[in-house]
Structure 1
C-alpha cells in the first residue's frame, strides 16, 4: 500500500514537467527558425545593396602628383620663406647699420628675395590633385567611366588643387570647357584658362584666380588612366 502510494505521488508531478519541457523545446525551435529566417533575409538585402553600390565615388580623384613630390615641394616653399625672413629681417639690417646700402647689403637682401620669388614663380602652377564630379551612371563600372570621359560634357565640373605660396592647398573650381593646352614658363605650364571674369569679382586683397596649371606624371591610386582620357578632349589654345 505505501509503495503504491509513493509511486502515484512521484508520477504525478513528472507528467506536467515532461509536457512543459516538450512544449518549451518546440517553442524554442520555432523561435530559432524565425531568427534564422530573419538573419538570412537581412543578409540577402545587405548583399543586394552591396551589389548595386557604385564602384566609384561621386567626387573622383583622376589626377594625383604623388605624396613624395607634393611633400618635397611644400618643404622647398617653406624653406624659402624661412630664408627670406632670416636674410631680410636679421642679416640685412645688420649690414645696413654698418655699411648702409653697400654692394654687400644689396647682395644679402637679394639672397632672401630672389629664392622666394623664383620658387613662387616656378611652383605656383603645380597641380597636386584634381577631382571630377561624376553622374550616377558613370560610377557603376570602369567601362561606363571610360565612355563618360571620352564624351565628357563641356560643362563638367572639375576641382583642381594647387599649392599657395605658404604651401597650403588651394582649390580652383572650373569647367572642362575653360581649359586649353599651352606651353608657357619654359615648359612648366601646360594648361591654361582665362580668369579675367573671375578676378573681376574678387576683392583687391584676395588671391588672383589660378589660370596656369602644370600637370606632370599622374599617380592617381584608383584610375591612373582617367586623366589621359580627359586630356585628349582638351583642345590646344589658339595663338593670337
Structure 2
C-alpha cells in the first residue's frame, strides 16, 4: 500500500511538500531511477532496425552456386531471345503494294461502271446490237490485263528458320546465306480481290524464268495442290534483286534476300538436272 501511494504523493505538489525532506529526496531518486531504466530499453527515434537476413535454405535454388535450369528450359529461353520461327527477308515496299492494289480496284470499278451504267444506256433500237457487248468487253480488258500482269508480283517473302538458327541474328544470317535446297519460303502475293495469298515453296524447286507478256523472275517447278475453291496455285513470281526498306522490325533481314535471289537464279530446271 505504501508503494502504491508513492506516485500520487510525488505528482501532487501539496502532498509532496507535506512530507519531510528526506522522504521527498528518496521519492525523487526512485522516480529518476525508474525513468532511466525505461529509456535504456527504448531505441532512438532516428535509428532504424536493419532487416534480418534470410537464412539459406538447402532445398531452395538460390542457395546453390548457380541457377538450376534444365537443357530444355535453357533452349527455350535462348530461342525466345533470338529470331522468330519466320523472318522477313524481302519486301517490295509499301508504295508498290498500294499502287498495285489501287490499280486493281480501279479496273474493277471501271468494269462495274461499264456493265451497270454505260451498257444499259446503249441497249435500244437506235444503236447497233454489237455496241453493248463491245462496251462490256472494253470495260473488262483493263481488269483482265492488270490481273494477269500483276499476278506474279510478290509483296513479301518469309524464310522458315530451324531451331539451331534461331539462337541469334548472326546465326540466322549465316544460315540464310547458305540455305539447303529443302529450305522453306513463304511468298506473299495478291489475289484478284486484293486479298493476300500465301504460297509455300522450297528453295530447290524455284528456277529462273523469263516471259514476254508479264514480268517474271522465277517459277515453282513443283507446285503443291490447293483446294479447288481457292483457284490454281501461282507458279510464276516476280521480285527485285534487292529488298526495299520494309518495316522497322527486328525480324526483318533485308540483307539476306540478295543471297537467296542469286541462289534461285543459279538453280537449274529439272530437265537439266536429269542429264
**Under TM normalisation by the shorter chain, which class is it?**
0.7 to 0.9
User: Could you say which residue in structure 1 is the equivalent of 2:193?
Assistant: 166
User: Could you say which residue in structure 2 is the equivalent of 1:223?
Assistant: 253
Normalised to the residue count of structure 1, the TM-score between the two structures is 0.77
Normalised to the residue count of structure 2, the TM-score between the two structures is 0.68
Q: CA deviation at 1:213?
A: 0.4
Contact in 1 for aligned 2:149/2:215 (Cα 8 Å): yes
User: Could you say which residue in structure 2 is the equivalent of 1:34?
Assistant: none
Distance 1:13 1:186 in 2: 104
Structure 1: gaps (5+ residues): 32-37
Task: Kindly tell me the number of residue pairs found equivalent between the two proteins.
Answer: 221
Q: Which of 202, 205, 208 does residue 178 from structure 1 map onto?
A: 205
SS in 1 for 2:83: coil
Distance 1:229 1:97 in 2: 62
Contact in 2 for aligned 1:129/1:161 (Cα 8 Å): yes
Q: Which of 7, 15, 18 does residue 43 from structure 2 map onto?
A: 18
Q: CA deviation at 1:186?
A: 3.6
Distance 2:223 2:78 in 1: 47
Q: CA deviation at 1:83?
A: 1.3
Q: CA deviation at 1:153?
A: 1.6
User: Is 1:6 matched up with 2:31?
Assistant: yes
Q: 1:98 to 1:15 in 2, by over 3 A?
A: farther
Q: Which of 52, 64, 89 does residue 62 from structure 1 map onto?
A: 89
Q: CA RMSD in A?
A: 3.3
Q: CA deviation at 1:171?
A: 0.4
Structure 2: gaps (5+ residues): 1-25, 55-61, 70-75, 247-251
Which structure's residues are more often helix, by fraction? 1
Q: CA deviation at 1:230?
A: 1.1
Q: CA deviation at 1:207?
A: 1.1
Contact in 1 for aligned 2:149/2:214 (Cα 8 Å): no
Contact in 1 for aligned 2:91/2:244 (Cα 8 Å): yes
Q: CA deviation at 1:125?
A: 0.7
Contact in 1 for aligned 2:88/2:254 (Cα 8 Å): no
Contact in 2 for aligned 1:150/1:233 (Cα 8 Å): no
Distance 1:196 1:156 in 2: 15
